Amino acid sequence: MSLLHKLAGQTAIYGLSSIFGRLLNFLLVPLYTGIFAPEEYGIFSELMAVVAFVMVVLTYGFETAFFRYANKEDDVDKAMGTGFISLMCTSLLFLIIASFFSQSIANLLHVSSQPKFIQWLVYIIVFDVLSTLPFAKLRVEQRAWRFASIRLINIAVNIGLNLFFFLLCPYLLKEGIAVNSIDSIYNPSLGIGYIFISNLIASAVMLVLLSPEVFKMKLSFNFELWKKMSRYGFPLLIGGLAYVTNEMADRLLLEYLLPPETATAQVGIYSACYKISIFMTLFIQAFRYGAEPFFFAQAEKKDAKLQYAKVMRYFVAFTGFVFLSINVFIDLIKHFIQNEAYHVGLEVVPILLLANLFLGMYYNLSVWYKVSEKTRFGAYISVFGALITILFNIILIPTMSYVGSAWATLICYASMCLLSFILSRRHYPISYNWKYISTYLISALFLFYIWQLWHDDCFIVSSLLCFVYIFGIVMLEKRKKISTLIPK
């Protein structure tokens, strides 16, 4: 249990930056949805989807490869120097090519009048890629507080600049205060461009804060280690592309499968409502930051599989609570999206929450191919999921619009969980307690169904249902603990 407590502590600290930061970013949703029409917010969402694809390509699995070989080679500096030099060279090449063809890229992405958007996004990507391994090194060294503080500063700068450009500058211009100074730095016609400018400055600040880690590196390049890291990382690159397809392709497919006159607005509505599922995503991301180094560290220990099984059980218990609480309090949470034009899409929230719960389960299940160095199976599973995503989006979007995209996401992640479990039984069997796991999941779904039957926007009823779930989990866990103490 001390190991699990350590994992929980690391997850909590990483979650401080991830959850708190994303919550602060979530508070920008009312700002964006209050200022921008769904069509404009849709453009922003589409561009960020493209950024996600490019980030995966330019990191090409080296973050996880660094974790593996920093532990395996027992030489963090060698893995760090080799990986960072590789990422730096490919990032600079990307910077040169993408900057040169920025207008052509802008035309392709339907922002032909704003090639500057593309140029800013290119620099954001490069800065974030160069920050990847310094952050990974902090995780390997278990310097979670420094990791969290830099992340929080990055987020604070981003949010501060958003508030400056979208609230303070318009207010000062309206009141006629310091008009000349504001005019020199603020152009209202740039619109969503200030989102990218804010991100760019924040990413630059983040890289500067990581500069001590960069300057302390022993920048030596080991070609043999680079080949090992590349072989290990390439399946993860394929898997990462498939993952981003599962996460982001629906925005692009909505744009091209729906009528042109409504497509961008539908993307905007879907993306805004998708943000509500962020509470589930936040925990999963924080868990992943803490769990990935933990899984590798336990791999050689005798009770590793027992620890993995416990982590899965506790994970489902907690995410079941997240699923239930967000859904039963949706009438309060929805007000973060200020413009009621977006509220029509709230029906996707339960579907997406459940989809992300399955995604978290998949992260737990994926331990088998990572610690056994069979990462090619991660690529196979992710590609399978991507095909499911594309297929069901194509089938469902024409008749169900963004609701079809939500269902496609759920089908994808549930299928990936099932396939990963089937393969793990053959290659790296772990005795998960599916009786308890399924009980937690079914309980959350059943209580949500009860809420739907009695739904009257009653805070007391919603709170009571959450309490019932927590009480049930506590009693089941106590029962299990007692049963393990009874001699067989």
Query: For 380-399, what is the HEC assignment?
Result: HHHHHHHHHHHHHHHHHHHH
Residue 71 has pLDDT above 70, yes or no: no
**pLDDT average, residue stretch 76-90:** 88
Q: What is the DSSP-derived secondary structure letter of residue 259? A: -
What pLDDT does 20 receive?
A: 67
Q: How far is CA 165 from CA 158, 162, 168, 203, 389, in A?
A: 11, 5, 6, 17, 37
What pLDDT does 456 receive?
A: 64
151 touches 20 (CB < 8 A): no
Is the pLDDT higher at 130 or at 460? 130
Residue 486 has pLDDT above 70, yes or no: no
Give the global pTM. Answer: 0.75
Spatial separation of the C-alpha atoms in residues 400 and 123, rounded to whole Å: 37
With a CB cutoff of 8 Å and minimum separation 6, the contacts of 363 are 284, 287, 288, 291
What pLDDT does 14 receive?
A: 63
Residue 485 has pLDDT above 60, yes or no: no
Question: Quick one: which of 201, 68, 200 has its CA closest to 136?
Answer: 68
What pLDDT does 453 receive?
A: 83
Q: How far is CA 271 from CA 181, 253, 268, in A?
A: 35, 13, 5
